[in-house]
Amino acid sequence: MRTTWSSYSNPRLVFGPGALNQVGQVVSRLGGARTLLITDPIMEGLGVVERVASVLKTELKVYAKGEIEPSTDAVSRCAALAREFNPDVTVAIGGGSNMDLAKLTCATVSSGKEPASMLGFDAVPGPIGNLVCIPTTAGTGSEASHSAVICNSDTGMKVAALSHYLRPQVAIVDPELTLSCPKKLTADSGIDALSHAIEGYLATDFSTLETNDSGILAYEGNHPIGDLYSEKCIRLISEHFLKAVHEPSNIEARSGMALAATLGGLAFSNCGVALVHALAYPIGNRYKSSHGAGNGIALPEVMRFLKGSRAERLARIGALLGVDADAAIEEVIRLRKEADLPERIADVGGRREDLPELAATAFKLEPLMALSPAKVDEQDLLAILEASF
């Protein structure tokens, strides 16, 4: 039986309204003389690039061609520019897409490997250099996680690269940057953060996972430090999620959600994601629905499936959400509904006859199946999908 676990986090997290103003000091501290800024046209239009340029004391090159769901081809294009410019610090500003693009760009430049060859677990061969991530949405937690989700240009499938080398050196989390985040994206991102915390909290115990020769696992399974991240994240989401969705300029709510998202990133990138994310990936790939929508659809029924194996933890989630021990699932359903998120697979264009294929695809994600605290087979996944249809 495994008797040890590891905990991972960024070396530095700068948090709070106005944190963006510290990017100049952060980059100097990393010894930067040449900074590559990776972002997208929307952020550029909002004046964020200008703000960063005004406080950086280094030479600056801007790559503002970040796109939604970046592909391995996009990584190759960005890496070509990075090779030419040869930065010593890379700064990513945006949602998960820009941060993940920057992560795999840094890995590509530092390793000399093809981006597609680094998808999957532990395929990044070494440190990726100085990367500073600055999120403008509150959800993916990419600023704190070891994950980069990239679309493989050869297969058209979204795949995660998971490597502890992909955790940024510094996360600068400035809730003011999320004030302009649209309502739907705020809801999508928030339910993703909640899914990270709940999946990490309900993941199988670290002791049940098998050791390997390297001692490095994609996910550690549930452990005490992961619990701290999850518990605080769930509490914050209970307090701030709906306010952030419906009162976009409420900085207190935005701050609560920004912190929750980072904590969710730390929770899942330590303890793991499991059945919810495993089901959300094929739903998103098949119907081109958002990652958050798929998670929100799957989350309550997966929680119901885990009632037998994780009753105590589900009760604790209820308490963290401010409801009775047996009302955690109903509360998640309420939050989803009041945030105007899709509730059923049919709401994102799903067809009942697709469900067996979705279940089969999810079941093939073995590392995620291994994180489930209850033994699961394809029929179980199909039942969860049918209940979520």
Report the nearest approach of Fe ion to the CB of residue 83 (Å).
Answer: 30
Question: Which residue in this structure is represented by tokens 């996910």?
Answer: 219
Q: Is 214 left (phi over 0), alpha (psi -120 to 50) or beta?
A: alpha
Contact present, 82 and 131 (Cβ < 8 Å): no
Taking the CB of residue 3, how many other CB atoms lie within 10 A of it?
A: 7
Indicate the residue whose CB is closest to Fe ion.
Answer: 192
The number of residues that bind Fe ion (CB under 5 A) is 1
In the complex, the smallest distance separating the C-beta of residue 265 from Fe ion, rounded to whole angstroms, is: 9
Residue number, 192 or 231, with CB nearest to Fe ion = 192
Nearer to Fe ion, 143 or 192 (CB): 192
Q: How far is the CB of 42 from Fe ion (least distance, A)?
A: 21
Site string for Fe ion, 120-149 (x = CB under 5 A): ------------------------------
Tell me whether residue 130 or residue 163 sits nearer to Fe ion (CB atom).
Answer: 163
E strands, 321-378, are none
**What does the alpha-carbon distance between residue 184 and residue 181 come to, in Å, rounded to a whole number?**
8
192 contacts Fe ion (rule: CB under 5 A): yes
- From the CB of 47, what's the least distance to Fe ion, in Å? 29
CB count within 10 Å of CB 375 equals 8
The piece of 70-78, 119-127, 142-150, 191-199 that touches Fe ion (CB under 5 A) is 191-199
Site map for Fe ion, 290-329, x if CB under 5 A?
----------------------------------------
58-61: Cβ within 8 A, 24+ apart: 58/27, 58/28, 58/32, 58/33, 58/34, 58/89, 59/33, 59/34, 59/35, 60/35, 61/34, 61/35, 61/36, 61/37, 61/85, 61/87
What is the amino acid identity at position 257? M
Detail the DSSP E strand segments found in 57-100.
59-63, 89-94
188 binds Fe ion (CB under 5 A): no
Amino acid at 85: F
- Cβ distance to Fe ion smaller for residue 192 or 331: 192
Please report whether residue 199 would count as binding Fe ion according to CB under 5 A.
no
**Residue 381 is inside which H or E element, if any?**
helix 378-387
Binding segment for Fe ion among 156-164, 190-198, 209-217, 335-343 (CB under 5 A)?
Answer: 190-198
Q: How far is the CB of 195 from Fe ion (least distance, A)?
A: 6
Minimum CB distance to Fe ion, residue 276 (Å): 8
Options 13-21, 100-108, 189-197, 318-326: segment touching Fe ion (CB under 5 A):
189-197
The piece of 6-14, 62-70, 192-200, 363-371 that touches Fe ion (CB under 5 A) is: 192-200
**Contact, 60 vs 37, CB < 8 A?**
yes
CA distance 134 to 176: 11
Question: Which chain residues interact with Fe ion by CB under 5 A?
Answer: 192
